Amino acid sequence: MRALECYNITGIRLRNFPEFIVAFAMVKKACANANYKLGLLEVKKKEAICRACDELIDPRLDAHSKGVEMRENFLVDMIQGGAGTSTNMNANEVIANRALELLGHEKGQYEFCSPNDDVNKGQSTNDSYPTSAKLACILMHSELLNAIKLLSKSFFKKAEEFADVVKMGRTQLQDAVPMTLGQEFHAYGNSVASDIDALSNAVNRFCTSNLGGTAIGTGIAADPHFSQVAVQELRSVTGHPMILADDLIEASSSVGDMIYFSGMLRRIAAKVSKICNDLRLLSSGPRCGLSEINLPAKAPGSSIMPGKVNPVIPEVMNMCAFEAIGNDVTVAFGAEAGQLELNVMEPVIIYKLFSSLRVLSRGINTLREHCIEGITANKEHCKEMVHKSIGVVTALLPHIGYKKCTEAADRATRDKRPVADIIVELGFLKREEVDNLLQPESMCGPTAKKARFEK
């Protein structure tokens, strides 16, 4: 109640992230089982607490939809003072009150099942809160992982479709050398796919818990064996390879794993955003830009310019990426602001991690479904630009040298004529030699000749 009065900050409540509620219920269930095994919690209370937790984990288990109702009672704002104590107590109170109902008592009769003395037994906010947050990231990351996998496959499919579309490659927005559109999209696929293992490795760091360290990692007010037993139970409840941190004091004060994971999300965001920048350039026009590809038309582009269609899907993905990158900055500041044995900024760090996971997952799925899968190529236009380009002269370097190539390129640019004609006029090569050496397909490198693209 104090949290509701004091922390009306973002309007984003705990219930907006159901994975966080599930994670908290898993932690509380594991702790109840551990306390029972250590002889610290009687069987009826343990069973009632675990049943309440199960209903939160999967509301379908309860015919009366108590789990759905309980989730709605996670009302605390994601950003809060107190290092997450309000969140931990919100979970303790919801679980305790449902346990009381299961025991045949009224809500609030805490002498029969207490949020603090029973549900929170052997714990502090400073161990249960970060453990639950890490577990929630594990639960949430699978959606992003799947989105990345599907996006990379979509790029590889387009790479195969565009394998014979020759175009100009560009560096610093200037004509460079020929390549195929298939090569370009294959590179996008590999860029995205390279984050699959990296994301999995980053989230694996969250399998380390400080559960049982209580206030600062010394384990005060908890059974000496509680940490080991609780983490064993957590491993059983979650199905994830949870382990106890080697140094509980360090694990209670450090958010290093969260920094690392946030950096991984920033990397994904930056790379996908760069690809979206490319798509917007490649589709620019349609008559006065590069216009090498066509993006699916998704919305009228203007309220005043008839017929205008904008690259709205890459644009929205850019904005999703910007949010994730900004969130990472907040995580960094939050991590730096930790003091002594506790980082009180964990609420904003956790909120930003969850937000990045969600916005990137949804953004990437939107990009794939509404843009990538419907891209088409302007094959003849791409070919025409290659033939008009000065950049093809690079293929002649081994045959006439840099100085002559430069002379021909400068003259072709000045006279606005094909570089092949200038080479012949200057007597550097015969027409047959130039035509043979400047075949666009032969200038795209060995990867352009591969018949099979990775899927």
Cβ neighbours for 177, distance < 8 A, ≥ 6 positions apart: 168, 169, 391, 392, 394, 395, 443
Domain closes at, from 53, 87, 121: 121
Residue 243: strand pairing partners: 208
DSSP 243-288: EE-S-HHHHHH--HHHHHHHHHHHHHHHHHHHHHHHHHHHT--SSS
Residue with tokens 């799947």: 146
**Predicted structure pTM score:** 0.91
Please, are residues 122 and 40 in contact by the beta-carbon 8 Å criterion?
yes
DSSP secondary-structure letter at 295? P
Average pLDDT over residues 130-155: 97
Please, which pLDDT band fits residue 449 given cuts at 50, 70 and 90? low
Who's near 244: CB < 8 A, 6+ residues apart? 208, 209, 210, 211, 212, 227, 228, 231
Q: Is the same domain home to 68 and 171?
A: no
For residue 455, pLDDT beyond 50: no
28 plus 110 within the same structural domain:
yes
Q: Does residue 360 sit in the same domain as residue 418?
A: no
- Domain finish residue from 66, 92, 121: 121
State the CATH number of the domain containing residue 423: 1.10.40.30
pLDDT at 87 over 80: yes
Asked if residue 246 is part of any domain, the answer here is no
Quick one: 419 and 305 in the same domain? no
130 part of a folded domain? no
Residue 23 and residue 88 in contact, taking contact as beta carbons nearer than 8 Å: no
Cα–Cα distances (Å) from 432 to 258, 291, 426, 436, in that order, read 62, 32, 15, 6
Q: Within this chain, do residues 174 and 86 fall inside the same structural domain, yes or no?
A: no
pLDDT of 140 strictly over 70: yes
pLDDT attached to residue 444: 84
Report the distance separating Cα 26 and Cα 268, nearest Å: 29
Domain CATH number, residue 163:
1.20.200.10
pLDDT the model gives residue 299 = 85
335 inside domain: yes
Residues 89, 163 share a domain: no
Structure tokens that stand for 377 in this block = 């190529």
Active site residue 154: no
Q: How much is the pLDDT for 256?
A: 95
- Residue 66's pLDDT band (cuts 50, 70, 90): confident
Q: What is the pLDDT of residue 64?
A: 63
Length of the chain in terms of residues written? 455
Q: What is the CA radius of gyration of the chain?
A: 30
- 372 lies in the same domain as 394: no
CA dist 211 to 123, 180, 233, 255, Å?
7, 54, 11, 14
Catalytic-labelled residue, pool 200, 236, 302, 442: 302
Whole domain around residue 101: which residue ranges?
2-121
384 in any annotated domain: no
Residue 366 forms part of a structural domain? yes
What DSSP state is assigned to residue 304? S
Helical residues (DSSP H) of 58-84, grouped into ranges: 66-72
Q: What is the pLDDT of residues 197-207, one digit of tens each?
A: 999 999 999 99
Q: Which of 93, 126, 86 is nearest to 211 (CA)?
A: 126
pLDDT of residue 394: 87
For range 123-143, the mean pLDDT:
97
Going by C-beta distance under 8 Å and a sequence separation of 6 or more, which residues neighbour residue 25? 52, 53, 54, 56, 57, 91, 95
> Final residue of a domain: which of 345, 379, 413?
379
CA distance 30 to 50: 8
| CA–CA separation, 81 and 344 (whole Å) | 8
- Do residue 197 and residue 84 come from a single domain? no
Query: Is it the case that residue 6 has pLDDT exceeding 60?
Result: yes
**Residue among 55, 51, 54, 57 nearest 67 (CA):** 55
- What are the C-alpha distances in Å from 167 to residues 162, 289, 379, 390, 443? 10, 14, 8, 13, 11
* β pairing state of 243-244 and 174-180: unpaired
Task: Judge if 168 and 63 occupy the same domain.
Answer: no
Q: What is the pLDDT of residues 184-226, one digit of tens each?
A: 999 999 999 999 999 999 999 999 999 999 999 999 999 999 9
Q: Are residues 174 and 316 in the same domain?
A: yes
At residue 178, the 3 state secondary structure works out as: strand
The pLDDT > 70 percentage for the chain reads: 97
Task: Provide the domain count of the chain.
Answer: 3
pLDDT at 23 over 70: yes
Angle formed at CA 100 by CA 95 and CA 101, multiple of 5 degrees = 100
Cβ 134 vs Cβ 204: under 8 Å: no
Q: Average pLDDT, whole number, for the chain?
A: 93
Task: Return the pLDDT at 159.
Answer: 97
Count of CA atoms in the C-beta half-sphere (13 A) of 27: 32
Please check whether residues 80 and 176 belong to one and the same domain: no
Asked, for residue 221, whether it belongs to a domain, the answer is no
Judge whether 217 lies within some domain: no
Residue 82, pLDDT above cutoff 90: yes
End-to-end CA distance of the chain: 53
Using pLDDT thresholds of 50, 70 and 90, give the confidence band for residue 300.
confident
Fill in the amino acid letter for 412: A
- Residue 455 lies inside a defined structural domain of this protein: no
**Same domain, yes or no: 354 and 423:** no
- Residue 454 confidence (pLDDT) above 50: no
Q: Count Cβ atoms below 10 Å from residue 93 Cβ, excluding itself.
A: 21
Listed in sequence order, the DSSP H helices in 115-255 are 125-161, 181-204, 226-238, 248-253
pLDDT at 136: 98
402 contact partners, CB below 8 Å, separation of at least 6: none
CATH number at residue 34: 1.10.275.10
Residue closest to 328 by CA, chosen among 262, 273, 272: 262
